[in-house]
Structure 1
Amino acid sequence: MTDLSGVNLNRLVVFAAVVEAGSLTAAADRLGIAKTMVSTHMQRLEAEVGASLLVRTTRRVSVTEAGHAFYAASRQILSTAEDAISALAQGSGDLRGTLRVATPIDYGTNVIAPMLAGLRRTHPELKVELVSADRMVDLVAESVDVAIRLGRLADSSYRAVKIGGFVKWLVASPEFISTWGKPTKPEALAKLPFVAMSALVKPLVVSIESRRGARRTVRFSAGFFADTSPTCRAATLAGGGVAFLTDFSIGDDVAEGRLVRLLPEWSGAPAGIHAVFPSARQPVPKVRVFIDALKAHLAGGVDVV
């Protein structure tokens, strides 16, 4: 059995911060300590474990093959420790440690960030890290406690809790409509400029269904491509074209007249919003509290548990 007496396990926190932040300076800012202290911790950790973990350059650090393996193990150790502390704190009602949440960019901006701000007010000892990305985040590899997934869930070993749903609407700005006219049938859409999400497999193809159950597929021939949903929204507000956007991201714009729904009897098929977390263990208190708080937030409640 490996003797851990010669290894300062507190350095794992610093090492994880360096890997995640990408540089000694950024890690120092994240941890609130001096850069020289971060460097010292890394030098001593490498000496203690007997392996080179980082390759240092002037501006950033890269992780060695051994470092990648050690980082994955370190994050598991830190996550287990945080879960244990969080479980102990449950009895007192106080949450501690770090809650790392992954979410699509638009949902993070419109829903998760405001909700987490309220959660922090209720549990000030809980640190929050929000990872917003329009890609599939690997929960284990990126040490994510819980991820928000929109739409159909891929088969996986993760546990999932449905927290809500959404639809997509066809929208355009009033200025765009005044120039191009307002379509009255789905077939007329294909002739219009389109603001497309480039991250989608088929960014220029839109599937819609009517309230009566009819279905249509619209194939746009030209488009304004953007790589994030907020950018698509911004381009649409500026008159860049028709867009197919989630109701939670542009609902206020439609209600206040900044955007207009086209063919309001048509929309995307209803889809689910799920909170996903590793299934190797029961959801820890901070994840359970997050899910309950999000459900209350979506239901229009003002209290955050």
Structure 2
Amino acid sequence: MASPDINLNRLAVFVALVRAGSFTAAAERLGTTKAMVSQHIAKLEDELGVTLLVRSTRRMSLTDAGERFHEDCARVLADAEAAVTRLGECRDSPTGTLRVAAAGDHGPAIVAPVLAEYAALHPQVSVELVVSDEIVDVIAERFDLSIRIGWLRDSSLRAAKLSSFRQCLVASPAYLARRGKPSVPDELAAHDWISLSVLSSPTRWTFADEAGTEHTVRTRPVASANSTLATHAFVVAGLGMSVLPDYVVHADIATGRLASLLDGYRLPDGGVYAVYPGKQTSVKVRAFIDLLKERMAR
């Protein structure tokens, strides 16, 4: 037997009537008329095919079926009210799971420490970091956001810029002792290059001099890697030179492990972005973006 098609608003009217004790009192509580309350109850009984109330000129009483139905309805409405309350809490404070995607060069070093701080600030949120140098499908793989480095492709996703970084041309002292140090961008074509294959144009680079004049050069790879950290390892080992983000090579340059090259020229700065789906940012995502932006600004 198919379940009856019930107007759920009438359940609320029924519960209000039982609690109020009379049609007149229920109408006052609901802000409607006594006739409208009576009409809702009559239609509810008709939809159910069961008599819920016995009415007389002076009083009303519940039938056995009405008593059992009232208990169930009261529980359903209480659950609905609790669900609305929980939804409001989700809207007003971070809750649930925050699932973040990031690349191998900055995920462990930059994103993970901020995620740890975020989890301490919001213990009602569990955090998950997925590290991959491939661009993830945020929607299909159910990520709350992805931290992306470089230049964004056209997308329907929303993006918030967190920071910028410099691109640094670097090589190891051992490599420079063996192959010499370039003085202008054109000389890079004759050098051994380590190519980062995930870039849209891993062998073509455009430098700008102090006057703003651009110098484009095509490099000759002797090796390639699909991650920034693997490219960095090749460069440190002296296999060739490459362009790497400043946050990856800053300590190496400071200690002399790597040398910065062509300091009179500059490559375009890259961006660090939080990319996320949806027209409205959830409070848990917004709180993490704000914290990450603050920490990266330091």
Under TM normalisation by the shorter chain, which class is it?
Answer: 0.5 to 0.7
Q: What is the aligned-residue identity percentage?
A: 38
Q: Residues 26-105 of structure 1 correspond to what in structure 2 (within 5 A)?
A: 88=89, 95-105=94-104
Q: Residues of 2 paired with 1:242 and 1:254: CA distance?
A: 14
Q: Secondary structure at the match of 1:272?
A: strand
Q: Indicate whether 1:236 and 2:241 are aligned.
A: no
Counterpart position of 1:45:
none
List per-residue Cα deviations over 1:260-287 (Å, max 9, x = no partner).
Answer: 101112232123222111123x211110
Q: Residues 128-167 of structure 1 correspond to what in structure 2 (within 5 A)?
A: 128-167=127-166
Q: Secondary structure at the match of 1:223?
A: strand
What is the deviation of 1:153?
2.2
What is the deviation of 1:89?
5.4
Counterpart position of 1:213:
212
Structure 1: gaps spanning 5 or more residues: 4-83, 301-305
Residues 86 and 284, structure 1, Cα contact 8 Å, conserved in 2? no
Letter of the structure 1 residue corresponding to residue 289 of structure 2: I
Structure 2: gaps spanning 5 or more residues: 4-84
What is the deviation of 1:125?
3.3
Q: Secondary structure at the match of 2:199?
A: coil
* Gap change, CA 1:214 and 1:258, over 3 Å in 2: same
RMSD: 2.3
What TM-score does the superposition give when structure 2 sets the normalisation length?
0.67
Counterpart position of 2:189:
190
**How many pairs align?**
216
Letter of the structure 2 residue corresponding to residue 295 of structure 1: K
Counterpart position of 2:292:
294
Residues 150 and 271, structure 2, Cα contact 8 Å, conserved in 1? yes
Counterpart position of 1:285:
283
* Gap change, CA 1:177 and 1:289, over 3 Å in 2: same
List per-residue Cα deviations over 1:17-50 (Å, max 9, x = no partner).
Answer: xxxxxxxxxxxxxxxxxxxxxxxxxxxxxxxxxx
What is the deviation of 1:211?
3.2
Q: Residues of 1 paired with 2:287 and 2:297: CA distance?
A: 15
List per-residue Cα deviations over 1:129-166 (Å, max 9, x = no partner).
Answer: 11222222111101010112223322222221111112
Q: Residues of 1 paired with 2:139 and 2:202: CA distance?
A: 29
What TM-score does the superposition give when structure 1 sets the normalisation length?
0.65
Q: Secondary structure at the match of 1:267?
A: coil
What is the deviation of 1:288?
0.8
Residues 87 and 285, structure 1, Cα contact 8 Å, conserved in 2? no
Counterpart position of 1:173:
172
* Gap change, CA 1:211 and 1:112, over 3 Å in 2: farther
Q: Secondary structure at the match of 2:161?
A: strand
